[in-house]
Amino acid sequence: MEFKYEIRDNNLIIDVREIAGIHTIEDSKEMSEFVILMLYKHPFINSIIIREATEITYLPSEVEILKEIAEIYRYAIDSLGAERFDFYPKYREITRGVLKLLTQDPILCYFRILTLLKRIDDESYRKNFLEEIKRRLESSKIFSLFRREHKDYMWNFRDFYRRIFHPIFKPRFVLSNVIIFPPEGSILLERYMLRDGSEVSIYRVKDKIDILYSVIPKEYLISHEKVKVLEEARGRIGELGGEIKAFDIMRRVFVEKAELVITEISLSRNIPISKKEIKELAEVLVRNTLGFGILEVLLQDEKIQDIYINAPVGNSPIFINHSEYGECTTNIYLTLEEANSWATKFRLYSGRPLDEANPVLDTELTLPFGRARVAAITRSLSQEGLAFAFRRHRESPWTFPLFIRARYFNPLFAGLMSFIIDGGRSVLVAGGRGAGKTSLLSSMILELMRKYRIVILEDTPELPIEIYRKLGYNIQHLKSRSVITHVQTELPPEEALRTALRLGDSALIVGEVRSKESAVLFEAMRIGALANLVAGTIHGESAYGVYDRVVNDLGLVPTSFKALDIIVISNVLKSPDGLKKFRRVVEVVEVRKKWKEDPYSEGAFVPLLTYSASEDSLKPTDVLLNGESEVLNQISKKVKEWYGAWDKVWENILLRGKIKQTMVEYAEKLNRLDILEAEYVVEANEAFHLISEEVLNEKGELISEEIYRRWLNWFEKRLKL
């Protein structure tokens, strides 16, 4: 049987869309024969794609099994001359039958040869043809697989081939490849569902240290009938015009169009599809055309922290960093076609170039079910072409109560930082890559009262600005030139920061201190140019590491470092076996001002909280417990009720921490984790301030027990308990 085909980039692509029936290699002897003959003619083929309503892909490891059979066929034809007219003319029909059976069903061919060896007396034919084919079959991979389960083999049935061939099935508009089945002997560790119905399974691979993150996207669970509806809908939507520049608006418009078109097609074909299914199908279609395909599926998983695609694209699977299982290999292979599509969309989305002259692109991606920071590279930096790294952010910002529940820090840290933020001090969050610096910074913003104006400066947008605005914050967001990509149309970070300082009194948040803007930032801290919190993140493993970076790497005048009040150090810690990672705040350090040359040797770095590994918690130092912190004393001097009264300051810090801990306890007791999200946290913080003012006016002092009692009463009413 002949099929339409083309050979492209060593891929054999067979089109059977116009032919009725099932045409997989494992199900169809005609397809098996065609493929093996094609491998005989074109031995360089390394993958096979069969296009039906879905696209069926056989990976190189499976093609190698078929290539062995094609090589046996080649030996029979080219070396033995089995198709020549003078090749044992007496047995011409038997020879043709054996060769045909070899391409259609190699195992049945083997048994056919065994029968012929018993029946045919011609020693020459037996030895020179039948036994040669038999010997080569016995040494093949397919025969070794057959030996393991030969008891289950049934004549003229293809169940054996269905067990050894596991191709990838996917709708044709899905560009990435997904390996459906885990390696043999894998142990299932966990299974859970994503919002759209995609299924995630975590496996430990047999005899390996690797963890396999296996996801079956919703696209692979759609029936053939509905896939055909989506294929037709894709064609119609492509014909609809309209230019819309805003990505989120364009996406909403296309989802609505897709729903209408899918409804029309299902009615015209009399295919019953519910309204819920129509919405789901529309989302699937849009994410695989206008959107980012498999990336959108991965970004739905809140347990994923990082996603990596290495060059050359398609040669290795996508890798992820999982919050519970660490670094994992996935069952997904990105195609070059999809990688190029992503690169084009990132250029349009960010307004930044990505080409050989500008081989690095930094941007942010916001999708319906997730946000991520994007780093893309290409030639000339990456000699093998495109590669990507994605840092996933929560849809909603992290909050202090969420961090307490995740054990990132304890209530004492939350209370202390809440007090320092209200005191309008300068803070840097330091740590290594992936330590949670930006997440902690975003949670600190929520500790500011909404009455204050906030200016946020970032070179690559990572903070959830729109969510802050929806919560009622007064925010001005500035975007500066990336120190990596050097896009000339964007303002350099130091000039952007000077502009921010001219925008009036406000809290200032710098996404990350990377370059020359550090001098401007510390100058602003030193001269008191800002009337509220100044905070940012920086790479550094310790307080001295931060000093070393800003002075020696970024060129800050050493004495300007005195403008900094607090350094928070967060790090990624490992379990003893080295297989698991977890993030913790490990130290809170205040920077004292009475030093001349070296703050470290002159004792300027004074810890207030330090991490206890045995208790997995932050513990207060004697400096903090005894009220010897210069930063906290400077804050208390500006408040009449706290001046010279360390016990009241300490009570207030503990009260703030107790409120955060109470929110966590209620969330767990009521099984309502939404209580820990930004909306409740902002309201709870402002209720605390209003109640504190109320108690002060009534009692003449801040009585912690009374403030907590009234706050708890408000909180329970807010929860409608």
Residue where the block lists tokens 């083999």? 153
Strand 474-479 with 453-458, pairing:
parallel
**409 and 558 co-located in one domain:** yes
Choice between 579 and 224, residue whose per-residue pLDDT is larger: 224
pTM over 0.85: no
**503 and 607 co-located in one domain:** yes
Q: What are 591's strand-pairing partners? A: 605
Average pLDDT over residues 668-693: 96
Helix crossing, 646-670 with 704-718: angle to 10°? 20
Least confident of 17-21, 40-44, 240-244, 462-466: 240-244
Domain of 372, CATH number, reads 3.30.450.370
Asked whether residue 65 carries a pLDDT value surpassing 70, the answer given is yes
pLDDT recorded at residue 241: 47
Least confident of 35-49, 515-529, 645-659: 515-529
Average pLDDT over residues 177-195: 87
Strand 360-367 with 474-479, pairing:
unpaired
The winner for highest mean pLDDT among 33-42, 287-296, 566-575 is 33-42
pLDDT recorded at residue 30: 93
206-241 burial string, b = 16+ CB within 10 Å, else e? eeeeebbbbbbbbbbebeeebbbbbbbbbeebeeee
CB 49 within 8 A of CB 56: yes
In a domain, 702, yes or no: no
In a domain, 657, yes or no: no
In a domain, 699, yes or no: no
Asked whether residue 376 carries a pLDDT value surpassing 80, the answer given is yes
Structural domains in the chain (count): 4
In this prediction, what percent of the chain has a pLDDT beyond 70?
A: 93
- Mapped onto helix, strand or coil, the DSSP state of residue 183 is coil
Q: H/E/C letters for each residue in 33-63? A: HHHHHHHHHCCCCCEEEEECCEEEEECHHHH
Asked whether residue 150 carries a pLDDT value surpassing 70, the answer given is no
Q: What is the mean pLDDT of the chain?
A: 88
- Mapped onto helix, strand or coil, the DSSP state of residue 343 is helix
Q: Which residues contact 491 (CB under 8 A, 6 or more apart)?
A: 480, 481, 499
Asked whether residue 196 carries a pLDDT value surpassing 60, the answer given is yes
**544 and 519 co-located in one domain:** yes
**76 and 182 co-located in one domain:** no
**329 and 459 co-located in one domain:** no
* Farthest CA pair distance, the chain: 117
- The Cα–Cα gap between 237 and 247 comes to 17
Asked whether residue 141 carries a pLDDT value surpassing 70, the answer given is yes
- The Cα–Cα gap between 276 and 243 comes to 28
In a domain, 61, yes or no: yes
- Band of pLDDT at residue 227, cut at 50, 70 and 90: confident
Structural domain for 378, as ranges:
170-219+293-393
**226 and 107 co-located in one domain:** no
In a domain, 439, yes or no: yes
Long-range contacts of 151-159 (CB under 8 A, 24+ apart): 153/107, 155/108, 156/108, 158/26, 158/27, 158/29, 158/105
Q: What are 510's strand-pairing partners? A: 457, 536
Locate 161 and state its tokens.
């081939």
Taken as a whole, the chain contains a residue count of 721
- The Cα–Cα gap between 518 and 525 comes to 11
Residue where the block lists tokens 């130091």? 494
**59 and 118 co-located in one domain:** yes
Average pLDDT over residues 1-7: 86
pLDDT recorded at residue 153: 56
- The Cα–Cα gap between 510 and 518 comes to 10
DSSP state string for 481-521: --TTT--TTSPPHHHHHHHHHTT-S-EEEES---STHHHHH
Strand 617-620 with 605-612, pairing:
antiparallel
CB 242 within 8 A of CB 253: yes
pLDDT recorded at residue 543: 94
Least confident of 100-104, 321-325, 457-461: 457-461
What amino acid is encoded at 441 in this protein?
Answer: L
Average pLDDT over residues 307-315: 92
Which of 352, 376, 393 is where one domain is finished? 393
**485 and 562 co-located in one domain:** yes
Taking the CA atoms of 677, 618, 323 and 367 in sequence, report the sign of the dihedral they define. positive
The DSSP H or E segment spanning 14 is strand 11-15
Strand 332-333 with 326-330, pairing:
unpaired
CB 543 within 8 A of CB 435: no
What amino acid is encoded at 581 in this protein?
Answer: K
Locate 590 and state its tokens.
């205040």
pLDDT recorded at residue 242: 47
Cα torsion through 261, 265, 267, 271, rounded to 10:
-130
pLDDT recorded at residue 530: 54
Domain of 617, CATH number, reads 3.40.50.300
Count of other CB atoms within 10 angstroms of residue 171: 22
CB 500 within 8 A of CB 508: yes
Count of other CB atoms within 10 angstroms of residue 669: 9
Which of 338, 370, 393 is where one domain is finished? 393
- Mapped onto helix, strand or coil, the DSSP state of residue 305 is strand
Least confident of 381-390, 495-504, 608-617: 495-504
Helix residue ranges per DSSP H, 288-367: 294-300, 336-350
In a domain, 354, yes or no: yes
pLDDT recorded at residue 511: 83
- The Cα–Cα gap between 685 and 296 comes to 34
Which of 607, 629, 651 is where one domain is finished? 629
Average pLDDT over residues 683-688: 96
**441 and 317 co-located in one domain:** no
pLDDT recorded at residue 532: 83
- Band of pLDDT at residue 46, cut at 50, 70 and 90: confident
**475 and 589 co-located in one domain:** yes
Task: Report pLDDT digits (tens) over 91-104.
Answer: 999 999 999 999 99
Choice between 367 and 506, residue whose per-residue pLDDT is larger: 367
pLDDT recorded at residue 160: 86
- The Cα–Cα gap between 380 and 54 comes to 37
In a domain, 555, yes or no: yes
**273 and 299 co-located in one domain:** no
pLDDT recorded at residue 684: 97
CB 57 within 8 A of CB 177: yes
- Band of pLDDT at residue 517, cut at 50, 70 and 90: low
Choice between 582 and 713, residue whose per-residue pLDDT is larger: 713
- Mapped onto helix, strand or coil, the DSSP state of residue 333 is strand
Taking the CA atoms of 80, 82, 84 and 87 in sequence, report the sign of the dihedral they define. positive
In a domain, 371, yes or no: yes
**476 and 583 co-located in one domain:** yes
The residue among 314, 309, 291, 294 whose CA lies nearest residue 219 is 294
Q: Which residues contact 535 (CB under 8 A, 6 or more apart)?
A: 421, 426, 427, 428, 429, 441, 444, 507, 508, 509, 510
pLDDT recorded at residue 415: 97
Phi, psi angles (nearest 5°) of residue 56: -110, 120
Average pLDDT over residues 349-368: 87
8-state DSSP, 79: I
Least confident of 54-63, 601-610, 707-716: 54-63
